[in-house]
């Protein structure tokens, strides 16, 4: 998983999720149910902590209510100010 402070991108998120699961990024589709792929709450917390290092105010609750990478990316874009709330 990446631990740098560069802006969070969709592809970085995909790669980090895949790394948590021990898979390649191509396994993590935009609309795959992440829990069905094996992501659990402890891994999500790890991702939140790592992605929080990018400077966005990401919290566990932001992601816990969504189940796909696409939904997570929409949350991140809002928090980065890239899309309207």
Which residue ranges form the domains of the chain, and what is each CATH number? 10-79 (1.10.1200.10)
Contact 61, 55 (CB under 8 A): no
What pLDDT score was predicted for residue 80? Answer: 87
Reported as half-sphere exposure (CB side, CA atoms, 13 A), residue 42 has a value of 2
The per-residue pLDDT for range 50-85, each reduced to its tens digit, is 999 988 899 999 999 999 999 999 999 999 886 555
> Which pair of tokens denotes residue 58?
């990401």
Tell me the pTM. Answer: 0.87
The per-residue pLDDT for range 5-62, each reduced to its tens digit, is 677 999 999 999 999 999 999 999 999 999 999 999 999 999 999 999 988 899 999 9
Residues 6+ apart with CB under 8 A from 81: none
């Amino acid at each position: 998983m990446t631990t740098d402070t560069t802006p969070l991108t969709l592809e970085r998120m995909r790669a980090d999720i895949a790394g948590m699961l021990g898979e390649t990024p191509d396994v993590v589709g935009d609309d795959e149910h992440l829990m069905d792929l094996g992501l659990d709450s402890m891994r999500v917390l790890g991702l939140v902590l790592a992605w929080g290092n990018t400077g966005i105010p990401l919290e566990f609750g932001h992601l816990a209510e969504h189940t796909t990478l696409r939904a997570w990316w929409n949350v991140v874009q809002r928090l980065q100010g890239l899309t309207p709330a």
